[in-house]
Amino acid sequence: MKFTMTKIAAAAALALASSTAFAASVSTGGVFQMNVNGGLDQSGIAGGGAPVNTDATISGFVDQAAGTWGVSSATPFFGSIWTASNGQLITAAGSYSLDTTSGAVSSIGAPTTANDGTIQFTIGADQVAGTIDFAWGVTSGIRVVNVWNVNANGSLTTAIVPGMENGPFPGYNANFNLTGANLITPVPEASTYGMMLAGLGLVGFAVRRRKLMA
């Protein structure tokens, strides 16, 4: 009996350990940087451009379960404090369009180069995107889109920055590199699922055997 209960406990621990690989929200640090984007911010084509200012004091969070994220800083940026709110995550690969007036995001066939009041972007494999409302000083309602590469430890590094719209920066973009580990849980390998199923199976077998012995 004692041996059977030990096996049940071990199997349960195995299943639990494999399931806890799926992280929830995590606080993080990182870097906010504004770049010149060559005026391509509405076209869906990621512009390059040199950085014009950097803030390495940001803090924030990513909540995968709620599909939200946020960043903030108390450091003046060109003399004014900036804030960001209403951050939404988009994790499914595909092409999307952000309406810069309403903030609504919809799937599209492919990004176009039309200057039509939208920010169009594509999320590839091992990438995730985030939209957020940006305010700088007294100017608010600026839409920002970031597409990040998901690193092995779950941290996020900017892949492309489609732009920032509805503000005084039509030729610029804003990117947020979020450096905390385990922000985005990488897709589990097959071995992880196998370990979880093996653990659950062992629990069921041990319980059934115990009933038969009783």
**Residue 51 vs residue 62, higher pLDDT:** 62
Q: Please report the pLDDT score of residue 7 as a whole number.
A: 47
Least confident span in 55-69, 111-125, 169-183, 191-205: 191-205
Per residue in 132-154, pLDDT (tens digit) is 999 988 888 888 888 899 999 88
Q: Please report the pLDDT score of residue 186 as a whole number.
A: 67
Q: Is residue 212 part of a domain?
A: no
Expressed as residue numbers, the domain containing 45 is 24-178
Q: Please report the pLDDT score of residue 170 as a whole number.
A: 64
Q: Is residue 146 part of a domain?
A: yes
pLDDT at 126 over 80: yes
Show the tokens assigned to 102: 């309403």
Q: Is residue 92 part of a domain?
A: yes
Per residue in 159-212, pLDDT (tens digit) is 876 767 766 666 677 788 888 878 887 655 444 445 545 555 554 555 565 666
Q: Is residue 101 part of a domain?
A: yes
Per residue in 9-28, pLDDT (tens digit) is 444 444 444 433 444 457 78
CA-wise closest residue to 47 among 126, 145, 128, 117 = 145
Q: Is residue 204 part of a domain?
A: no
Dihedral in degrees, nearest 10, Cα atoms 66, 73, 173, 138: 100
The sheet carrying 118-123 orders its strands as 105-108, 94-99, 118-123
Q: Is residue 174 part of a domain?
A: yes
DSSP 81: -
Q: Structurally, how many domains does the chain consist of?
A: 1
Q: Is residue 72 part of a domain?
A: yes
Which distant-in-sequence residues (6+ apart) come within 8 Å of 49 by Cβ?
35, 36, 37, 38, 172, 173
Q: For 116, list phi and psi in degrees, rounded to 5.
A: -120, 20
Q: Please report the pLDDT score of residue 22 as a whole number.
A: 40
**Residue 92 vs residue 6, higher pLDDT:** 92
Q: Please report the pLDDT score of residue 140 as a whole number.
A: 87
Q: Is residue 83 part of a domain?
A: yes
0.75 exceeded by pTM: no
